[in-house]
C-alpha cells in the first residue's frame, strides 16, 4: 500500500527544515564574526604595556576596545613580576570581550612556562626570540636554539599553542631564506614565524620577507621605520615615526600579505600612551593595513 503524501504538509515541513538550516548557518556565521574569524580579515591588536592610562585592568581592556583594537598581546614578564596575575588578566579579558591573543616570551629559555601562561590567557601563540651568540659558533647556536624549541613542541601540541620565531635586532636570522630554513628544519606545524614589518628594514624589505616566508607567517608586528633618519641619527631613531610616514612601502606589504592569504593578528609594537595616542595608532593601522 502506497502512503499518500499531503502536499501542503510536505511543503510546510520542507520549509521548516530549510529554514532551520538557514538559521543554523546564519548563527554559525554570526559566531565566527564575533570571534573575529569571519570575512578573512586582518585583526588589529596592541601590546598590553602600551595602555598607559591609570585605570583598572578591566577599564584598560575597555579603552583598547573603545579605540578600535580587537585584541591584546601580553609579555611573560608580567606574570614573573606579579604586576597583574595571569588569571586576573584572563578574567578581565573575558568579561570585556577582547581576547589576549598571544604571549611575548622574548628570548627566555623557559618556553614551557610561557606556553602555560598562554593557556591561562586563552592565547593561541607564544612569541620566541632567537638571539645570536657573538662569543661562540654560529652553527652551534643555530642548532642549540632549534633544539630548545623542539623540546618545547610536545608541550605546545598538548596545549594547542604555537611557538612563533620572531625576527628582531638580535643579529641572527637576518634574511628570509635562513629564517625559512630554520623553521622548516624544526619540522613541526606548531613552529611558525612572527613577522615584524619594521624590524627587517635594517637589512631588507618587508614585502620580500613576506614573499619568502609565505604561509610560515602566523602573526605580524606593526611598526614604521625611516632609513634616512636612521643613517644620520642612529639606527634606533628610525622607529620614531607614525605608521605610514617612514620608508616602508605599505602598498607592497599589503599586496604580499594578500598573496599569502594572511588572515590573523597584526599587533602594534610602538610607543604607547593615553586614550588619544592609542586612538591615533589604531587609525594609523587602519590606514596602512586597509
pTM score above 0.75: yes
Residue that wins the pLDDT comparison between 9 and 79? 79
Confidence label for 281 from pLDDT (cuts 50, 70 and 90): very high
Listed residue (85, 44, 55, 26) closest to 243, CA to CA: 44
Q: Could you give all domains of the chain from N- to C-terminal order, each with its CATH number?
A: 1-34 (no CATH), 41-289 (3.20.20.150)
pLDDT, residue 80, reads 58
Examine the pLDDT at 284 and tell me if it is beyond 80: yes
pLDDT, residue 40, reads 61
Of the ranges 71-80, 93-102, 168-177, the best mean pLDDT one: 93-102
Confidence label for 84 from pLDDT (cuts 50, 70 and 90): confident
Confidence label for 59 from pLDDT (cuts 50, 70 and 90): very high
Examine the pLDDT at 23 and tell me if it is beyond 50: no
* Of 16-20, 172-176, 225-229, 256-260, minimum mean pLDDT range: 16-20
Examine the pLDDT at 67 and tell me if it is beyond 70: yes
At 89-103, the pLDDT tens digits run 999 999 999 999 999
Examine the pLDDT at 64 and tell me if it is beyond 80: yes
Confidence label for 78 from pLDDT (cuts 50, 70 and 90): low
DSSP for the chain? -PPP--HHHHHHHHHHHHHHHHHHHHHHHHHHHHTT-GGG-PEEEEEGGGB-SS--HHHHHHHHHHTT--EEEEETHHHHHTSS-HHHHHHHHHHHT--EEEEE-TT-S-HHHHHHHHHHHT-SEEEEE----TTS-HHHHHHHHHHHHHHHHHHHHHHT-EEEEE--SSSSS-SHHHHHHHHHHH--TTEEEEEETTGGGGTS-HHHHHHHHGGGEEEEEE----HHHHHHH-GGGGG-S-TTSSS--HHHHHHHHHHTT--SEEEE-S--BSHHHHHHHHHHHHHHH-
pLDDT, residue 19, reads 42
pLDDT, residue 4, reads 42
Average pLDDT, the chain: 87
pLDDT, residue 81, reads 55
pLDDT, average across residues 56-68: 97
Residue that wins the pLDDT comparison between 211 and 78? 211
pLDDT, residue 221, reads 97
pLDDT, average across residues 24-52: 61
Confidence label for 172 from pLDDT (cuts 50, 70 and 90): very high
pLDDT, residue 107, reads 86
At 183-212, the pLDDT tens digits run 999 999 999 999 999 999 988 999 999 999
pLDDT, residue 22, reads 37
Amino acid at each position: 500500500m502506497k502512503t499518500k503524501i499531503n502536499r501542503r504538509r510536505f511543503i510546510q515541513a520542507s520549509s521548516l527544515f530549510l529554514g532551520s538550516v538557514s538559521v543554523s548557518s546564519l548563527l554559525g556565521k554570526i559566531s565566527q564574526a564575533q570571534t573575529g574569524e569571519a570575512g578573512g580579515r586582518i585583526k588589529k591588536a596592541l601590546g598590553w604595556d602600551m595602555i598607559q592610562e591609570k585605570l583598572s585592568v578591566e577599564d584598560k581592556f575597555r579603552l583598547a576596545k573603545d579605540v578600535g583594537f580587537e585584541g591584546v598581546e601580553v609579555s611573560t614578564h608580567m606574570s614573573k613580576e606579579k604586576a597583574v596575575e595571569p588569571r586576573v588578566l584572563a578574567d578581565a579579558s573575558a568579561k570585556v570581550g577582547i581576547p589576549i591573543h598571544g604571549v611575548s616570551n622574548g628570548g627566555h629559555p623557559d618556553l614551557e612556562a610561557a606556553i602555560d601562561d598562554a593557556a591561562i590567557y586563552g592565547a593561541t601563540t607564544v612569541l620566541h626570540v632567537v638571539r645570536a651568540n657573538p662569543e661562540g659558533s654560529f652553527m652551534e647556536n643555530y642548532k642549540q636554539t632549534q633544539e630548545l624549541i623542539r623540546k618545547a613542541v610536545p608541550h605546545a601540541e598538548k596545549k594547542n599553542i604555537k611557538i612563533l620565531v620572531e625576527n628582531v635586532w638580535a643579529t641572527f636570522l637576518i634574511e628570509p631564506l635562513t629564517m625559512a630554513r630554520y623553521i622548516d628544519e624544526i619540522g613541526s606545524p606548531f613552529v611558525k614565524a612572527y613577522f615584524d614589518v619594521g624590524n627587517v628594514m635594517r637589512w631588507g624589505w618587508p614585502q620580500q620577507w613576506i614573499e619568502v616566508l609565505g604561509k610560515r607567517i602566523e602573526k605580524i608586528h606593526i611598526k614604521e621605520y625611516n632609513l634616512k633618519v636612521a643613517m644620520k641619527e642612529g639606527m634606533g631613531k628610525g622607529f620614531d615615526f607614525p605608521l605610514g610616514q617612514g620608508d616602508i612601502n605599505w602598498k607592497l606589504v599589503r599586496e604580499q600579505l594578500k598573496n599569502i592569504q594572511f588572515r590573523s593578528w597584526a599587533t602594534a609594537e610602538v610607543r604607547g600612551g593615553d586614550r588619544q595616542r592609542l586612538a591615533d595608532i589604531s587609525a594609523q593601522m587602519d590606514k596602512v593595513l586597509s
